[in-house]
Amino acid sequence: MSHVYVHVPFCARRCSYCDFAIAVRRSVPSAEYLEAVTREAETAVGREPIATLYFGGGTPSLLDTGAFADLIRRLTALAPLAPGAEVTIEANPEDVTAASARAWRAAGVNRVSLGAQSFDDRVLRWMHRIHDAERTRDAVRALRDAGFDDLSLDLIFAVPPELGRDFSADLDAAVALSPDHLSLYGLTVEERTPLARWISRGESHPPDDDRYAAEYLEAHRRLAAAGYRFYEVSNAARDGRRSRHNSAYWTGASYAGLGPAAHSFDGATRRWNHREWERYRRAIVAGESPVESVEALTGEQAALERAYLDLRTDRGISRSILPAVQLSTWLAQDWVEARGDRVVCRPEGWLRLDALVSALTAPPAAR
């Protein structure tokens, strides 16, 4: 079985916090994009059945629905979907209509990840989002009416305090829509974004560590009470609704990435494509490889990555690789819990994930 990610870079506008590989376009070149990705797929995708197919971005929901359906047909002509395959599209609420939802469902999509981000209209405007809270509710209704029974919502927490955002109210609004899955991301400040410029000019404030921690822990408590389980540092799901595609990344499975900035991994070597859409497109048109660079992991790098991926999920790491002194310290701080032969992060540990991994991989004398 294989896992395939398709990056759709186009966006109607850039969000205030966004440093992703996107191309802002008034008119999306769906036909050109379709041809470029198809040509890459002919050599980049194997012929084994696809277990998960994920369209991320950018804003995949901006693609013309006819072109999107055609893209799925072309990809699955190269490698068929496995029985019960998970097919996900990321969508913005403003792109979801009764017609688009039906078209995605007819094309074979069975999971939608909806970029709600907040249910506070002031915060959405500050983020440069196009939709408002009511549009998200309308989108959820349209998706449910079209037959989607696997729906995820994205929320961003720890926004600047001057916005006066009530995160508890946002959690209430999200849970009221009964999504099957929620992804929660703490706001980070990336260079060359509007947010970074606002902070440098004193027009906004960077995320506060205490606020970040308080809202993250609140999300754990609130979602647990509503029947969700955090199975990864940023993701919670109802029973049976974990993202199978993202879980493949976290378990170290191989995957193929198509489109600008897409990454691929074969278990030992990682490669990634040119980040900019035009650079990627020109390479494909010229018959050149769109791959920008390749990295072969050393044994040490692979071990570090394995430890990081294990610690960020509810699978945890093996007790055998954790020094007894380290385990005792983490348990005393209530950062982890022992589950049989595994050590799993508690929410307080996930807040310190990078520090835990650094401590785990430090030379013995530094521990």
**Model pLDDT, residue 195:** 87
Measured over the CA atoms of residue 358, residue 362, residue 366 and residue 367, the dihedral's sign is positive
Q: How far is CA 63 from CA 77, 111, 113, in A?
A: 20, 17, 15
* Token couple for 263: 């990454």
**Model pLDDT, residue 98:** 98
**Model pLDDT, residue 363:** 54
Residue numbers in the chain where pLDDT is lower than 70: 362-367
CATH topology (fold) of 2-250: TIM Barrel (3.20.20)
**Model pLDDT, residue 20:** 80
Which residues, 6+ apart, have CB-to-CB distance to 143 below 8 Å? 96, 101, 112, 114, 151
Cα separation, 263 vs 257, in Å, equals: 5
Q: pLDDT digits over 65-89, tens only?
A: 999 999 999 999 999 999 999 999 9
Q: pLDDT digits over 26-46, tens only?
A: 889 999 999 999 999 999 998
* Token couple for 296: 């072969």
Element (H, E) at 245: helix 244-250
**Model pLDDT, residue 208:** 85
Cα separation, 59 vs 119, in Å, equals: 19
Extents of the domains making up the chain: 2-250, 315-366
**Model pLDDT, residue 111:** 98
Which residues, 6+ apart, have CB-to-CB distance to 362 below 8 Å? none
**Model pLDDT, residue 301:** 87
**Model pLDDT, residue 360:** 78
**Model pLDDT, residue 344:** 97
> Cα angle vertex 114, ends 272, 131, to 5°?
110
**Model pLDDT, residue 362:** 62
